[in-house]
A and B are shown apart, each in its own frame.
Chain A
Amino acid sequence: MNAIARRLSLPLVVVGFLLAFPLVTTGFYLEFTSKVMILAIFALSLELLVGATGLVSLGHAAFYGIAAYATVLLSPKIGAANLFWLLPAAIACSALYAIFVGALSLRTRGVYFIMVTLAFAQMAYYVFHDTRLGGGTDGIYLNFKPEVALFGARIADLGKPVVFYYFVLACLVLVFVFLALLLRSRFGRVLAGIKSNEQRMRAAGFATFPYKWTAFTMAGALAGLAGFLVAVKDGFVNPEMLSWHESGAVLLMLILGGMGRLSGAVLGAFAFALLQLFFQWDVVFGNFAKHWPLLLGGTIILCVAFMPNGLIGIPAQWRTWRARHSSEAARV
């Protein structure tokens, strides 16, 4: 019981803090935190692939962007759409593309998989970038935010930043709990087995392909949820949401936070967003702030070189370092 309580304490503290956050702030910080929580959902969806199943996808932004575009394109030009059909429809679009991409890309492995997912994401990028459907480089606007209504009665107004904030927080908690339960289920155990040794799982009698395909589709659908949220938040989509910079950024969030732990993905999303905000801060960096990608790139290189286990691995890394140090001292 004690172990469970210890395990739950940190997430509960974080959720409590996030629940109370709108009481003390408004405006920019509220919007910023909403955005970061959306990124956290996005990172969690990729964690299901990368951290849990060992499939490194470099095209995850495609599913994020497709759902965002679907949200805008499926909404009527005049009047608001109802959330209860728009959200599932947007997620379904991402899931369908994930089924297609998964069927082809999961035939490959390792570095092929990285390149193939990247290429299919790029294909989706060009669909929205080159055709009239997606409005080209400029993107398209969402004229009306979807309304939350049941049987004609409006329940909540997502146009209000506070309401939207709590809606995103609820989504984040649900996704986190869903994934936590999923990874503890038999399905999750099989994914962990595939990650550590797929050959052995096949020898043990598991047809691994359907498991990987299901995980891939789920990850695409959850990324779609994040894409829906960001489209509603910004009221605007453009092809850059599907670009490989976005896919790279979400991978970076995972490794920044730490792989193989759900809380790592959330931590990574927050760390990434804060880091980006920090590097764009002209009080500290002055004129150099407009060159923030240079600092970000440098930070990534240093992280990979010195922090292979992410932020969440630092305590363990520190402990091994200290243990080695003290044992060396004892020998002397």
Chain B
Amino acid sequence: MDLATFLVQCLNALQYGLLLFLVASGLTLIFGIMGVINLAHGSFYMIGAYLAYSLAPVFGGNFVATLLAGLVLAVIFGYLLEWLFVSYLYERDHLQQVLMTYGLILVFEELRSILVDNDVHGVPVPSWLDGSVQLGDLMQYPVYRLAISAICLAVAAVLYFVIARTRLGMMVRAGSSNREMVQSLGINIKVLYRVVFAAGVALAVLAGMIAAPVSSVYPGMGAQVLIICFVVVVIGGIGSVRGAFLAALLVGIVDTFGKVLFPQAAGIAVYLLMAAILLWKPEGLFKQG
């Protein structure tokens, strides 16, 4: 592997890892704060990609407008979903959470097949990002992939700022370490849950929307992302956004280089990484609390 190829693969790993972080951060927040294991989280990613596909014609291919509209829809959707389905699950055990969200996956997937169809669709890359950068003498790298990484990094920075520096972030951190205490201090935990859930949905939808032009849009894309995100959350430690960030990058690197170096065993590399981490630290790299 020469230097240019190595560099390209590094950029790919970074982009994939950061995208995983967007999905996994929502998953880990929802679990850390509400104690709900949400299998339907991958479906939000899928919904995001299909939103990018079906909203693009509405806005005449204006990328930013599509993103904003999708995010608004995602927040409304997440808010309603928490209210209608997820709010029953806080007092239930994990098994019932698994089953309820499993049922939601079946419903989302089937609604998707009714509303759109079961074909693979491409989503055009926005024209102003449709160039490539010269790397070395022979390699080129698409600008859009760099833009994905930039968007993800910006979101990660905002997320860090909100959680570490704002009043909302303070409530989120307090809520994840002691739910009853937060309630007794007069914070409306129900509203907090709803906001966090909506934010988690919005993060996953955003990830799906910006990934759509690269990955194209296809049935079953949610399940694939969900399971990798579980690996990320397990490695990073449940409830830890910082852990999810590092674990997502780690998974991105292992997966990308695994595919390059050992194409036969590519699917397994990430799980072996998880097994190794579990042997070393059963509760993930950054255990909460």
Contacts and interface: CB of A to CB of B under 8 A. Distances in A.
Interface in B238-266: 238, 264-266
Given A104-B279, A112-B283, A308-B92, A123 B268 contact: yes
Contacts of B96: 255, 304, 308
A126 B270 CA distance: 11
Contact of A58 (B98, B114, B223, B264): B98
B268 A126 contact: yes
A131 interface: yes
Contact of A248 (B102, B110, B283): B102
Name B's interface SS: helix
Interface stretch (A70-78, A90-98, A226-234, A295-303): A295-303
B133 to A, nearest CB: 32
A303 B284 CA distance: 33
B98 A301 contact: no
B38 to A, nearest CB: 10
Interface centre among A114, A120, A129 (most CB of B within 10 A): A114
A130 interface: yes
Nearest to A100: B275
Interface centre among A118, A251, A259, A296 (most CB of B within 10 A): A118
B31 A300 contact: no
Given A119-B271, A252-B99, 7 more contacts: A104-B278, A115-B234, A118-B227, A131-B264, A251-B99, A259-B95, A296-B103
B267 to A, nearest CB: 3
A251 B98 contact: yes
Contact of A298 (B107, B223, B267, B279): B107
Contacts of B264: 130-131
B134 interface: no
A308 to B, nearest CB: 6
Interface of B: 31, 37, 39, 85, 88, 92, 94-96, 98-100, 102-107, 109-111, 113-114, 223, 227, 230-231, 233-234, 238, 264-268, 271-272, 274-275, 278-279, 282-284
A127 B103 contact: no
B180 to A, nearest CB: 19
Contacts of B274: 116, 119
B100 A114 contact: no
15 contacts: A104-B275, A105-B278, A108-B278, A127-B267, A130-B265, A244-B223, A255-B95, A255-B96, A255-B99, A259-B95, A294-B110, A296-B106, A297-B103, A298-B103, A304-B99
